[in-house]
Chains A and B, each alone.
Chain A
């Protein structure tokens, strides 16, 4: 991952979202993600984190404000792996290329590369059902890689996994982002995950979501797994958690595993 951020890939200015039933979800979000930068968004449940990602992806329209996206190549990793269960792993990875209309040979090649990157080459012919939860999530990541995205949107991608698998996948994701220099916007409930992966952690308030804190993460990349056990890491994670508690996050929901 580039240590000095470059031009912005994504800019949000005063983005507001109110659902059709009148529920306010987001209130005046300003946010910028630069090339090679990973920004994490943490906040209480229901603060509009996922809505924010959906707005960036164009899946939900904002009520007002400006979304400036300087690329069309977006990789979205959902909370669920959303792999088509009737297709093999390889076919799943070829899907996005097919939908985007890239030439067959091209998307087959990119799918093959992406499977290899996440270490699932031997399971390419298997259906998703044959894979463990962690493998499915890795496959979902690999699927997004096939489009060579400039911006990765990650919506609590490891939320449903056990802690050990989550740490392993977080390490793998950190390595991947470092190697490829993507920009990424990560929504997570895990403060540890956010601090470990990000160059900046943004804290949203409870509904409607507003930016109430932004914490630059000073640790250089690449980050070794043992960073999680350092005093500086713990202090920063503590500050983020304290900010979350101050905005109404129930302590039990602050995950610092």
Chain B
């Protein structure tokens, strides 16, 4: 009964979505235009049950996942480091934070040609796109977490003459961990988007799933195109879920927000 209550509503929505999909495919589109929205079973047969197609998609997906995770890792290190630096003094925060906001607001597509010029059209630029997209949530959440430590704890550390390092490692970073993990969770999804966007513009090297999507679009292979879109979405959902599980493991024992964070 509890399983039904948990999974019933999302499965019901999925069922409705697939029903609409069939309706569009068979009722709205004539057979010669059905390639625009191929029916679900055609997508499954061609995209997932055809071994050659499936291998091609999974290899592309693995490559995009590698790029996304590499970008996320760099963004996590850089973002946390910058936030800790900004937390050390108000003037550092006032100097750097506006540029972090600018980074968030600059349309990434406007930067893509420049990145290509500067870093080439291969892996480096793809990873860089992921870093640029994923960086801000990590900086903002980490900084929020570091600033949110209750005064009582700071008083305790001040009273006992804690060094700045002791305060950072024993109080501020552990207290900020739930916020840092929330930032990572958001950035994990964004870095997958970054990897696919990067694929579209930086085609050199081993193809990622974004390159395959572009290829299938050009060839009008709509079944594979749909299968690639579904796999890309699943990659985003998987990374979001993985970081939710990680957050529960790391801080769920003592922090309510992670203990009850909803999973997709």
* Chain A interface residues (CB < 8 Å from chain B): 54, 57-59, 74, 76, 78-80, 82, 84-86, 95-96, 98-100, 127-129, 147
* Stretch binding the partner chain, chosen from B10-18, B24-32, B137-145, B157-165: B157-165
Complex formed: what's the CA distance from A18 to B166 in Å?
32
- Is A100 a contact partner of B254 (Cβ separation < 8 A)? no
User: For A84, what are the chain B residues with a Cβ–Cβ distance below 8 Å?
Assistant: 153, 170-171, 174
Q: Using A85-B255, A86-B254 as known contacts, say yes or no to A98 and B155 having CB atoms under 8 A apart.
A: no
Return 27 A-B CB contacts under 8 Å, by A number.
A54-B155, A57-B159, A59-B158, A74-B159, A76-B155, A76-B156, A76-B159, A78-B152, A80-B152, A82-B155, A82-B156, A84-B170, A84-B171, A84-B174, A86-B251, A86-B253, A86-B254, A95-B170, A98-B170, A99-B157, A99-B160, A99-B162, A99-B170, A100-B160, A127-B253, A128-B254, A129-B253
Please, how many angstroms separate the alpha-carbon atoms of A58 and B159 in the complex? 7
Interface of B is mostly: helix
User: For window 113-160 of chain B, which residues contact chain A by CB distance below 8 Å?
Assistant: 150, 152-153, 155-160
Cα separation A146 to B162 with both chains bound (whole Å) = 16
Q: Which 6 A-B pairs have the closest CB atoms?
A: A85-B254, A99-B160, A82-B152, A99-B162, A86-B174, A78-B152
Shortest CB-to-CB span from A202 to chain B, Å, is 23
Name 17 extra pairs, CB < 8 A, besides A59-B159, A99-B170, A128-B254.
Answer: A54-B155, A59-B158, A74-B159, A76-B155, A78-B152, A78-B155, A78-B156, A79-B152, A82-B152, A84-B153, A84-B170, A84-B171, A86-B175, A95-B170, A99-B161, A99-B166, A127-B253
B252 to chain A, nearest CB (A): 11
Q: Is B177 an interface residue (CB 8 A)?
A: yes
- Across the interface, which residues of A come within 8 angstroms of B150, CB to CB? 80, 82
In the assembled complex, the CB of A150 is this many whole angstroms from the nearest CB of chain B, namely 14
Given contacts A85-B255, A129-B254, whether A100 and B161 have CB atoms under 8 Å apart is yes
Give A76 to B156 CA distance when docked, in angstroms: 8
Q: How far is the CB of A29 from chain B (nearest CB, A)?
A: 20
Contacts of A82 in B (CB 8 A): 150, 152-153, 155-156
Measured in the bound complex, the distance between the Cα atoms of B166 and A85 in whole Å is 17
Complex alpha-carbon distance, A128 and B253, angstroms: 10
- Give B163's nearest chain A residue, CB to CB: A99
Cβ of A100: which chain B residues have Cβ within 8 Å of it?
160-161
- Residue of A with least CB distance to B178: A86
Write out the residue numbers on chain A whose beta carbons fall within 8 Å of the beta carbon of B255: 85
Q: A147: which B residues are within 8 A, CB to CB?
A: 160
Q: B254: which of A54, A57, A98, A127 is its contact (CB, 8 Å)?
A: A127
* B33-53 with Cβ < 8 A to chain A: none
Residues of chain A with a CB closer than 8 A to B153's CB: 82, 84
- B174 lies within 8 A of A59 (CB): no
Q: List the B side residues contacting A128 at CB < 8 Å.
A: 254
The distance in angstroms between the C-alpha atoms of A86 and B178, with both chains bound, is 11
Q: Which residues of B contact A129 (CB under 8 A)?
A: 253-254
Nearest CB of A to B229, in Å: 40
Contacts of B157 in A (CB 8 A): 99
A-chain residues with CB within 8 Å of residue B253 when the two chains form the complex: 86, 127, 129
B-side contacts of A127, CB under 8 Å: 253-254
- Give the shortest distance, in Å, between A240 (CB) and chain B (any CB): 28
A120 to chain B, nearest CB (A): 18
